[in-house]
Structures are given as structure tokens and as C-alpha cells.
Structure 1
Amino acid sequence: MNKPNPANWGQVITVHRWDRWSIHHRLQELNIPCACPADGTLRVDVNHAIALLLVQSTVRQFTAPRQASVDWLERCWQTHVACTAEH
């Protein structure tokens, strides 16, 4: 089986060149296929919704301003979700 050429597969994620290797490394830890080809892009192969959410979360972790991350976390802490277990 031939390995796809990273320069022409997956979705291009637009991030600063200095963030792309950190994001690439984290996506690999999450078992999400990704590549950093010589053209300076970050390419990600997303095949399901959970992978898409993980990519979004990872990119936000590296690119969002600190205050935006703090505000998001505070909103999460203030959210009250009633969980019910059905047996």
C-alpha cells in the first residue's frame, strides 16, 4: 500500500508556522493522522466528528489568547448539566 503524499491529502489547517509542529505532535498523540509538509502547511485527515472536535480543541489550545481560554473554562465551570442515569 502506498502512503499518501502529505502535500495533497487531508484538510489544511491554517496556523502559524511556529505553532504547527506543537499542534502536529499533539494530534499524533491523539492518533489523528496529520503531516507537516515542506510547503509550511499543517494537514489533518479527519474522518469522524470526535476527531474534528479534538482538532478544534488542540488548535484552540495553541492559538487562543490566554484570556479567551480562561473565560471558556470559567463558563464550563458555571454550566450546570443535570445528568440522569437510566438503568
Structure 2
Amino acid sequence: MQPSCTPSLTVPILTIARCDRWLACQRLQDLSIPCHCTEDGCLQVEVTHPTAIAQVRSVIQQLTASRTVLVDWLEQCWHQPAASDFH
């Protein structure tokens, strides 16, 4: 049984360029993560579950990391054993 009230945390995201915050906001909304850009350009994200934290991190990483870092991260993912390999 899930609790009737899920605790949430609203965090400002300032690590990305102001122009990219609108892209991040749209992508997070596509992922059903509540967020909005304030008039001063700050991106406010409401995190209500652990999966949302990983999704927010991924969206921000895609906008801030260099191509080299993203390629290295992807190659590491390819070399990880699949979950089915742990049986």
C-alpha cells in the first residue's frame, strides 16, 4: 500500500545555461516530472520519487557534458553486464 501523500522536494537547477533550461524543462515535462522556468530564468524541478532524480540527472548531463564525456559514459554502459546475466 502506498502512502496517500508522497513527499516531494523542489530544487532549483542552475548548472545549465539559461537558454538550455527551457529545453530541460520541456524534456522533464515529457517525462512527467513537474517543473517550470521562473521569470528570472531559474528552472524549478519537483522531485517526488527516486527515479525522477536519475531522470533529472540524465537530462542535465545531456545538456552540460561534453561529447567526449557522453561517448565515454555510453561505452561504459555497453560494457556493463545485462541484468539477465545475474541469474
Structure 1's unaligned 5+ residue stretches are 1-8
SS of alignment partner, residue 10 of structure 1: strand
The aligned counterpart of 1:52 is 53
- Deviation per residue, 1:25-55 (Å, 9 max, x gap): 0000000000101011000000110011100
Tell me the distance in 2 between the aligned counterparts of 1:54 and 1:36. 18
Tell me the distance in 1 between the aligned counterparts of 2:62 and 2:86. 27
Following superposition, the deviation at residue 83 of structure 1 comes to: 3.1
SS of alignment partner, residue 21 of structure 1: helix
Letter in 2 for 1:47: T
Match of 2:86 among 75, 83, 86: 83
Following superposition, the deviation at residue 80 of structure 1 comes to: 2.1
What RMSD, in angstroms, separates the aligned Cα atoms of the two structures? Answer: 1.3
TM-score scaled by length of structure 1: 0.81
Q: Which has the larger radius of gyration?
A: 1
Tell me the distance in 2 between the aligned counterparts of 1:53 and 1:32. 11
Tell me the distance in 2 between the aligned counterparts of 1:38 and 1:64. 26
SS of alignment partner, residue 45 of structure 1: strand
Q: Which has the higher strand share?
A: 2
